[in-house]
Amino acid sequence: MFEEENAQWGLVHALVLDGKGGARSIARTELDDLQLQAHESLWLHWDRSHPQTHTWLRKSSGLSEFNCDLLLEENTRPRLLPLPNAELLLFLRGINLNPGAEPEDMVSVRIFASAQRVISLRLRPLRATDELLAQLAEGKGPENASELILYMAQYLTDKVQDLVTCLSEIVDGEEEKLDADERYAPEHDAILHIRRRAAGLKRFLAPQRDIFGQMSRTKLPWFLEDDGDYWNELNNSLTRYLEELELTRERVGLVLEAEDRRLSVRMNRTMYRFGIITGIFLPMSFLTGLLGINVGGIPFSESPYGFMVACLLMICVATGQWLLFRRLRWV
């Protein structure tokens, strides 16, 4: 019920975390008079494209004009911006798993976080937030604002692992086919598409890894004591995925190089055979052309055995050339 009412305001969902892993949903109209308990935290997840989101953010959120401009700007990249009063802005990217979308066209989620309040904005749906809602519904979700942004980053990173593994398996399959069948020719467009996807992922994941590293060193009063260890682990995970992406790009290059070498060897072999055939038939063509000129004095022109002699002569020449090529190891 609340979700349908909130959607009219551009509010995807409004949840109050109970400090025990669960949450309750509230209506948009309750925000102005909401009083949080000491153990509670508020999570507001907005649709950035909705006009009411812009209105609420600038007039009712209590955020400065500077913060609102950053949260609503058209294009952004992963970044971390500490703010006064132990607050922060955190911009992250997640795999685009929406139907018909390219996964490497990563979805942006912009987060404002303070001790008891998290405001997040998205333009397109995020699978990570759906999983987070499912955890809260089971009472196994984050207990406070610190854990909320950590959980969100964790779910975003997990989706990266699935895609990186998928790309690596595709390249594995191409390498196995090349090794098993020397006549197999991979589709260049499909292989190059894998390289482009890896490059697109790396574009956003590299700065996001650095942000996780910064978060592991950030010490805010409302952060839990072991948060730094979890952020550091996310940093290590993204580092591993970036290394895997780089390896995938190199392996794609090796697959293309192997195919180019095979084509080159095949072409050289074909041209070599044509060269041998041409070398054998060229002297015979010279003989037939010489004997075929329409002038007097052609040998055996009056003899009934002339054609047979000419054929034997060409066979001898061809045999001699063959033996010479074998001696020179050309064939």
* Cα Rg of the chain (Å, integer): 36
Give the side-chain half-sphere CA count within 13 A for 101.
Answer: 14
Q: What are phi and psi of 296, to 5 degrees?
A: -75, 160
Chain mean position to CA 209: 16
Banded pLDDT at 83 (limits 50, 70, 90): very high
Average pLDDT for 147-160: 90
Beta strands in the chain (DSSP E): 11-17, 23-25, 41-47, 79-83, 87-94, 107-113, 117-122
Between 102 and 181, the more confident residue is 181
Q: Is 300 helix (H, G, I), strand (E, B) or coil?
A: coil
pLDDT band at 281 (very low <50, low <70, confident <90, very high): confident
Angle separating helix axes 65-72 and 51-59, nearest 10 degrees: 160
**Site of tokens 């937030």:** 129
**6-10, 73-77, 243-247 — which is least confidently predicted?**
6-10
Per-residue pLDDT at 106: 78
Nearest to 95 by CA among 49, 54, 130: 130
C-alpha pair distances (Å), 235 with each of 78, 193, 223, 281 = 14, 27, 17, 69
Amino acid identity, position 307: F
Residue range 148-162: average pLDDT? 89
For the chain, give the mean pLDDT.
85
Query: Token pair 């404002």 is at which residue?
Result: 112
pLDDT at 88: 94
Cα gap 138→101, rounded to integer Å? 30
Backbone angles phi, psi at 246, to 5 degrees: -65, -40
Quick count: other Cβ atoms within 10 Å of Cβ 282?
10
Quick one: pLDDT at residue 104?
64
Rounded Cα distance between 121 and 284, Å, is: 82
121 φ, ψ (degrees, to nearest 5): -130, 140
For residue 7, pLDDT beyond 80: no
In the numeric block, which tokens belong to residue 76? 């952004």
Confidence class of residue 119 from pLDDT cuts 50, 70 and 90?
Answer: very high
- Is domain 2-262 given the CATH code 3.30.460.20 in the classification? yes
pLDDT band at 1 (very low <50, low <70, confident <90, very high): very low
Q: Which residues contact 279 (CB under 8 A, 6 or more apart)?
A: 321, 325
Return the ∠ at Cα 270 (arms to 269 and 276), rounded to 5°: 90
Mean pLDDT (whole number) for 170-190: 80
Decide if pLDDT at 121 tops 90: yes
pLDDT at residue 251, rounded to an integer:
87
pLDDT digits (tens, 9 = 90+) for 32-58: 888 889 899 999 999 998 889 999 999
**Hey, is 220 helix, strand or coil?**
coil
Residue 199 host element (H or E): helix 188-217
What is the spatial distance between Cα 68 and Cα 281, in angstroms, rounded to a whole number?
A: 82
Measured from the Cβ of residue 271, the count of other Cβ atoms closer than 10 Å reads: 10
What is the reported pLDDT for 236?
Answer: 93
